[in-house]
Copies of this chain bind each other. A is one copy, B any other.
Amino acid sequence: MARTLAVIGDRWTLLILRDCFLGVRRFERFQERLGVTRHVLSDRLRKLVAAGVLEKRAYQERPPREEYRLTAMGLELHPAIIHLVQWGDRWLSDDHGAPLQHIHRGRGHRFQAQLTCADCGEVVGPRDVTVAANPALAQRLELPDEGRSPDTAWQQGG
């Protein structure tokens, strides 16, 4: 998580990426849509390119103009971004609901995100996922132990 946040964990980066998924590619468009200062936008785009999340390519040569596109790495942020957006739509909407709805293309109905296990296809909730130390590594990280195992410790019981 710390690694992920080092790349996308600041006030603007996820908004930039969200706009990328909506088709925005150009500096001026990001700037006018987000209201971020040009300075910060320039910095964030440069870092995203350096991290491999976006790539910069010329879309014309005279005059030289550049655009930013999601790489394969960037495209794989899609599930996380969808879930974050839908969480906000669900819990933080004002009276009228979200301004945009997600649609499942090819099916035509509304798209509601759901987390499943790629191996067995089951829908999973928070209590269905637990963690284990990577056997390939020495134990670098001590898990907290306040009398419960970590897999149940999040529960509201008590």
Contacts and interface: CB of A to CB of B under 8 A. Distances in A.
Contact of A119 (B78, B111, B126, B154): B111
Contacts of A107: 117, 119-120, 122
Interface of A: 1-11, 14-15, 18-26, 29, 33, 52, 69-70, 73, 75-85, 87-88, 90-93, 96-107, 109-134, 136-137, 140-141, 143-144, 146, 148, 150-154, 156
A144 B3 contact: no
20 contacts: A1-B15, A1-B85, A4-B88, A5-B84, A8-B84, A23-B154, A25-B153, A33-B144, A70-B154, A76-B91, A78-B115, A79-B113, A82-B115, A83-B115, A99-B137, A103-B130, A104-B117, A111-B128, A111-B129, A114-B117
A140 B5 CA distance: 31
Count the copies: 2
Contact of A97 (B15, B115, B136): B136
Contacts of A52: 91
Contacts of A136: 96-97
A58 to B, nearest CB: 11
B1 A18 contact: yes
